[in-house]
Amino acid sequence: MKLETTIERLLSGPVSWWALIRVLAWGLIVTVVIGQMLPEPVYRDSKDLFDRSDSVRMLLNNDQLLHESIKFEGDKQMRLAWIGGSSVTNMFAKPGDRFLPIKTADRLAEIRNVEVNGYYYTQQAQRFIDVYTLLLDALQRSPDVIVITLNPFWIYSNHAIFRSLTVIENRSDLWFSIADWPLWLSVTSPSSHFLTHVGGSVPLFMPPGKFRRGVTTGQNWLFGKPSSQAKAEITGENFYNFDGPLAFWLNQTTTRFDGPRPNEEHDPMWGRRQFQADILERANTSANSFGAVTFRKIDKLLANSGVPVLFYIAPLSPLIEEDIPAARGYERVVKAVVAQEKNKGANNMRFVTEIPQPVLDTLHHYDLIHVSDYGDLGQYLAEQIDTLLRAQQ
Partner 1 sequence: MNPYVGEMILGIFLAATILLVKVSISFTAPFIYQGF
Give the residues lining the site for partner 1 (CB under 8 A).
7, 9-13, 19, 22-31, 33-34, 159-162, 164-165, 204-205, 208, 211, 214-215, 218-219, 222, 244-246, 249
Q: Are 295 and 344 in contact (CB under 8 A)?
A: no
Task: Give the integer Cα–Cα distance in Å for 118 and 135.
Answer: 14
Work out how close the CB of 38 gets to partner 1 at its nearest, in angstroms, rounded to a whole number: 9
Work out how close the CB of 17 gets to partner 1 at its nearest, in angstroms, rounded to a whole number: 12
Task: Give the integer Cα–Cα distance in Å for 79 and 335.
Answer: 31
Q: Identify which of residues 129 and 359 has a Cβ nearer to partner 1 in the complex.
A: 129
Angle at 61 between CA 60 and CA 65, to 5 degrees: 25
Task: Give the integer Cα–Cα distance in Å for 295 and 288.
Answer: 10
Residue 361 three-state SS: coil
Q: Identify which of residues 169 and 367 has a Cβ nearer to partner 1 in the complex.
A: 169
Work out how close the CB of 196 gets to partner 1 at its nearest, in angstroms, rounded to a whole number: 16
Work out how close the CB of 320 gets to partner 1 at its nearest, in angstroms, rounded to a whole number: 25
Q: Identify which of residues 124 and 392 has a Cβ nearer to partner 1 in the complex.
A: 124
Largest CA distance in the chain: 84
Q: Identify which of residues 229 and 252 has a Cβ nearer to partner 1 in the complex.
A: 252
Task: Give the integer Cα–Cα distance in Å for 382 and 353.
Answer: 15
Q: Are 223 and 200 in contact (CB under 8 A)?
A: no
Q: Are 53 and 336 in contact (CB under 8 A)?
A: no
- Identity of the residue numbered 226: P
Work out how close the CB of 11 gets to partner 1 at its nearest, in angstroms, rounded to a whole number: 5
Polymer length of the chain: 393
Q: How many CA atoms lie within 13 A of 12 on its CB side?
A: 0
Work out how close the CB of 164 gets to partner 1 at its nearest, in angstroms, rounded to a whole number: 7
Q: Identify which of residues 250 and 355 has a Cβ nearer to partner 1 in the complex.
A: 250
Q: Identify which of residues 38 and 339 has a Cβ nearer to partner 1 in the complex.
A: 38
132 CA to centre of own chain = 10
Q: Identify which of residues 101 and 199 has a Cβ nearer to partner 1 in the complex.
A: 199
Work out how close the CB of 326 gets to partner 1 at its nearest, in angstroms, rounded to a whole number: 21
DSSP 261: -
